[in-house]
Amino acid sequence: MDRMANDIFRLDGRVAAVVGAGSGIGEAVAKRLASQGATVACLDVDGTKAAAVAKAIGGAAEAGVVDIRDGAATQGCFDAIHEKHGRFDIVVCTPSINVRKTLLNYTEEEFDRVVTVNLRGSFNVLRTAGRIMTARGAGSIVLFSSIRSITVEPGQGVYAATKAGIVQLVKTAAAEFGKQGVRVNAIAPGVVDTPLTAPIKANADWYGAYAAKSILGRWALPDEMAAPTAFLVSDAASYMTGSVLIVDGGWTAHDGRFQPPGM
């Protein structure tokens, strides 16, 4: 019984593409999927970083360069993986950028830059993977949203809008791809120790405030996003699609501003 229970988390024989695998959450996800048996294509806009992660994984792991802002390039990259392996089972997309400015101070160029990477990039990945997987009749896609899709703070407006947009893309894709056997879900992290959040970590007061906002009183590590992602793409989550899995240490579960007397 234990062996059978463990088997539903295994990914043996499956081919996975992880976009953003060169660092942070993407790197952790690529390593986790490989450890559970998947053949992993480590994809990143930085080919050197992607190659280093693939080398660290070893085995059948491979590396490639892709800029998800370019739909044709994304299509070519995914098609090449599919043709090489004869299957294409899993896609995880992690990259995003943030320009922390109030709306009144945002420039159009900054708006376009954030939306292009976060929203159009996720759309390109979703559309391309969806074309291949719906034709095959199977597959699992995970995009990365954020708790900022449901709760915001000053300076996070445009980033939050893209993360909310990703949630709606995921739900729509789940509805459109489901009859072809393709599941689509999202992970919504809280604050995670990655290159994207390095400016916050460098400010002791800011770092501490974000840690205190979590019920667990700390930031997440990239590995703590990788395990939930591996769950979503495995058979253990075979009845999950159109879902947003919030992995935030309890950030969005409580108010946290005041401890009532005697509590």
pLDDT tens-digit map of 125-158 = 999 999 999 999 999 999 999 999 999 999 999 9
User: Residues 31, 56: contact at Cβ < 8 Å?
Assistant: yes
pLDDT number for residue 4: 58
Return the residue matching tokens 């899709």: 149
Q: Is residue 85 included in any domain, yes or no?
A: yes
pLDDT attached to residue 263: 65
- How many domains, in total, are found in the chain? 1
- For residue 67, the Cα-to-chain-centroid distance in whole angstroms is 16
In a domain, 260, yes or no: no
Please tell me the distance from the alpha carbon of residue 133 to that of residue 113, in angstroms, as a whole number.
Answer: 29
CATH of the domain at 78: 3.40.50.720
SS percent in the chain: helix, strand, coil, step 5? 50, 15, 35
Residues lower than pLDDT 70 in the chain: 1-5, 263
Question: Which amino acids are annotated catalytic?
Answer: 159
For residue 12, count CB atoms less than 10 angstroms from its CB and return exposed for 0-12, middle for 13-18, buried for 19 or more: exposed
**Assigned domain for 257 exists:** no
In a domain, 167, yes or no: yes
Residue 141 lies in a domain: yes
Strands 139-144 and 90-93: parallel
Sign of CA dihedral 237, 238, 243, 244: positive
Structure tokens at 229: 């992602």
- CA distance linking residue 142 with residue 70, whole number of Å: 19
pLDDT at 5: 59
Could you give phi then psi for residue 155, rounded to 5 degrees? 90, 0
Is 81 a domain residue?
A: yes
- The contacts of residue 190 (CB under 8 Å, 6+ apart) are 147, 213, 214, 220, 247, 248, 249, 251, 252
Give Cβ neighbours of residue 62 (< 8 Å, ≥ 6 apart).
39, 40, 41, 42, 54
Extract the tokens encoding 219. 């930031």
Q: Return the closest-CA partner of residue 118 out of 150, 66, 166.
A: 166
pLDDT single digits (tens) 47-82: 999 999 999 999 999 999 999 999 999 999 999 999
Is 263 domain-assigned? no
Which residue range forms the structural domain that includes residue 66?
2-248
255 found inside a domain: no
